């Protein structure tokens, strides 16, 4: 999105999956390939590209934003799946970073430098991605609690136990209530975890599920419903993916301000409680939820940007949540990226490293041509 004019590049026609090498678990792709199309083609070989930001994003956008999502807790983020990039630098030089080997100790990790750079360093024109096998069995569970803190504590305990859920999402009663009304889910309106496990056999999954039940009961879980039918499982994940749209639809005429922070998993419970309390105290319409398994918390707040008092309350809540997340050793953005909105928090989070980032940007792009106005103030 240009902030002061300029050229916009459109990668729509660079949309080819160039090669899939099933034996290497790799694919070479152009940046305009859409995530679902890549997965459709990889699926023919029993493989998939796990990072899933919900939207059918382009691979170039996912790389530039280090996209992640519901299954990151097990499979990792985009950065864990990029082996090699072809990049065009601002002066027009074409270069590649990394290699196609599964590991390398060779020099600076320039591939990771470009991942998450939000188009500020160069243009990705080709990527070699790691793929992984489609899990043969999956099992979904819905776990309820009397209070939010117990639910958030159970998340930390489950992750610490090594159970490796493939997804672990926290939802507050307010959001469940809204999803019930808008999507007809029929769930109890109490703090809830949506959880999914992937495994090589049904027997292994049943064992995992019974361990998860024991653990969550010891954390105050009041019900544990596993083996959710396929149809209901799809409905649940669709509703979770569509949470932002659902909230938006239910509050027509209002704009959303989305908080997106992440903290170490042991600090997740206090982050959740702090955020929900803040929203309640300030009497703001807001919904707390998140990719709990990776300590990622979202608060979607509704307001009118034209109402200065109302909107500044929302911005204040956002700032206080970001500040607390950074104090707890976390980050100002778990997955939505810095862009324009989070620039003001970068120095607070990174300290002197922020200056080094600036220096790298100035070295690679001395004229400031690449996506100016993003990441840096
Ligand atoms: C409401 C909302 C929810 C979101 N939820 C998530 C989420 O759950 N998880 C998540 O990870 N992200 C999320 N995002 C952030 C973002 O939309 C995604 O990461 C997505 O992957 C971006 O892909 P895109 O194709 O839409 O990219 P675009 O929006 O087109 O581009 C994103 C960035 O990548 C740069 N870029 C694009 N292509 C290239 C290229 N070839 N070379 C260099 N730079 C390039 C652009 O300059 C831009 O800075 C969310 C955003 C919004 C607004």
Q: Is the CB of 54 under 6 A from ligand 1?
A: yes
Q: What is the pLDDT of residue 131?
A: 98
Lookup result for tokens 């120095």: 347
Q: How far apart are CA 309 and CA 312, in angstroms?
A: 5
pLDDT band at 356 (very low <50, low <70, confident <90, very high): very high
Mutate to test the pocket of ligand 1, among 16, 37, 53, 338 (most ligand atoms within 8 A of CB): 53
**Half-sphere exposure in the Cβ direction for 313 (13 Å, CA):** 17
Q: What is the pLDDT of residue 183?
A: 87
Q: What is the pLDDT of residue 351?
A: 97
User: What pLDDT, in 10s, does the model give residues 222-265?
Assistant: 999 987 778 888 888 888 888 888 999 999 999 999 999 999 99
Mean pLDDT of the 186-207 span: 93
- Residue pair 372/3 in contact (Cβ under 8 Å)? The answer is yes
Q: What is the pLDDT of residue 134?
A: 96
Q: How far apart are CA 312 and CA 289, in angstroms?
A: 22
Q: Is the CB of 11 under 6 A from ligand 1?
A: yes
The yes/no answer on whether domain 252-338 falls in CATH 3.30.70.2740 is: yes
Q: Is the pLDDT of residue 173 over 90?
A: yes
Q: Percentage of the chain surpassing pLDDT 90?
A: 89
Q: Is the pLDDT of residue 12 over 90?
A: yes
Q: Is the pLDDT of residue 277 over 80?
A: yes
Measured CA to CA in angstroms, residue 154 lies from 216, 263, 299, 368 at distances of 6, 16, 20, 46
Q: pTM of the entire structure?
A: 0.95
Q: How many helices (H) and strands (E) does the chain have?
A: 13, 14
Q: What is the pLDDT of residue 238?
A: 86
Q: What is the pLDDT of residue 197?
A: 94
pLDDT band at 119 (very low <50, low <70, confident <90, very high): very high
Mean pLDDT of the 267-282 span: 95
Q: What is the pLDDT of residue 345?
A: 98
- Give the number of the atom of ligand 1 that is nearest the alpha carbon of residue 337: 15
- Give the number of the atom of ligand 1 that is nearest the alpha carbon of residue 339: 49
pLDDT band at 1 (very low <50, low <70, confident <90, very high): confident
Q: How far apart are CA 25 and CA 56, in angstroms?
A: 22
Mean pLDDT of the 168-189 span: 93
Mutate to test the pocket of ligand 1, among 12, 57, 94, 117 (most ligand atoms within 8 A of CB): 57
Which uninterrupted H or E stretch holds 96?
strand 94-98
User: Can you give the residue ranges of every domain in the chain?
Assistant: 17-133, 137-243, 252-338
Q: What is the pLDDT of residue 346?
A: 98
Q: What is the pLDDT of residue 232?
A: 82
Judge if 17-133 and 252-338 fold alike in CATH terms. Answer: no
Measured CA to CA in angstroms, residue 66 lies from 14, 119, 267, 279 at distances of 20, 11, 23, 29
User: What pLDDT, in 10s, does the model give residues 298-321?
Assistant: 999 999 999 999 999 999 999 999
Mean pLDDT of the 119-145 span: 96
| Structural class in CATH, domain 17-133 | alpha beta
Q: What is the pLDDT of residue 80?
A: 98
Distance 4 CA to ligand 1 centre (A): 20
Q: What is the pLDDT of residue 333?
A: 98
Q: What percent of the chain is helix, strand and coil (3-state, nearest 5)?
A: 40, 25, 35
How long is the chain?
Answer: 377
Q: What is the pLDDT of residue 92?
A: 96
Q: What is the pLDDT of residue 230?
A: 81
Q: Percentage of the chain surpassing pLDDT 70?
A: 100
| Structural class in CATH, domain 137-243 | alpha beta
Q: What is the pLDDT of residue 294?
A: 94
Going by alpha carbons, the residue nearest to atom 47 of ligand 1 is 119
Q: What is the pLDDT of residue 242?
A: 87
Q: What is the pLDDT of residue 185?
A: 87
């Amino acid at each position: 999105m240009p902030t002061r004019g300029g050229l916009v590049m459109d990668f729509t026609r660079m949309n080819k999956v160039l090669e899939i090498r099933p034996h290497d678990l790799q694919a070479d792709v152009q940046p305009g390939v859409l995530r679902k199309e890549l997965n459709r083609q990889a699926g023919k070989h029993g493989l998939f590209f796990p990072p899933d930001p919900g939207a059918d994003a382009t691979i170039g956008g996912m790389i530039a934003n280090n996209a992640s999502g519901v299954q990151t807790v097990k499979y990792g983020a985009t950065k864990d799946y990029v082996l090699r990039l072809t990049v065009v630098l601002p002066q027009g030089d074409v270069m590649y970073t990394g290699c196609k080997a599964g590991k390398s100790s060779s020099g600076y990790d320039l591939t990771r430098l470009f991942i998450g750079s939000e188009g500020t360093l160069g243009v990705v024109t080709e990527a070699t991605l790691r793929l992984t096998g489609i899990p043969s069995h999956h099992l979904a569970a819905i776990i309820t609690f009397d209070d939010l803190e117990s639910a958030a504590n159970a998340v930390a305990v489950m992750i610490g136990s090594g159970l490796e859920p493939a997804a672990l999402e926290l939802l507050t009663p307010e959001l469940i209530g809204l999803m019930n009304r808008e999507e007809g889910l029929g769930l109890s309106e109490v703090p809830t975890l949506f959880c999914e496990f992937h495994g090589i056999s049904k027997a292994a999954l049943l064992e995992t599920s019974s361990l998860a039940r024991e653990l969550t009961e010891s954390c105050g879980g009041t019900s544990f419903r596993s083996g959710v039918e396929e149809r209901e499982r799809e409905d649940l994940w669709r509703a979770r993916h569509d949470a932002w749209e659902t909230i938006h639809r239910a509050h027509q005429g209002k704009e959303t301000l989305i908080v997106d922070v992440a903290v170490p998993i042991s600090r997740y419970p206090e982050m959740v409680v702090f955020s929900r309390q803040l929203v309640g105290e300030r009497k703001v319409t807001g919904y707390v939820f998140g990719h709990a398994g990776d300590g990622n918390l979202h608060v979607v707040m509704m307001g009118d940007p034209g109402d200065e008092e109302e909107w500044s309350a929302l911005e204040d809540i956002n700032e206080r949540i970001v500040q607390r997340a950074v104090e707890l050793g976390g980050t100002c953005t778990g997955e939505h990226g810095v862009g324009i909105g989070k620039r003001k928090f970068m120095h607070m989070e990174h300290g002197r490293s922020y200056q080094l980032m600036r220096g790298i940007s100035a070295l690679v792009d001395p004229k400031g041509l690449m996506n100016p106005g993003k990441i840096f103030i």
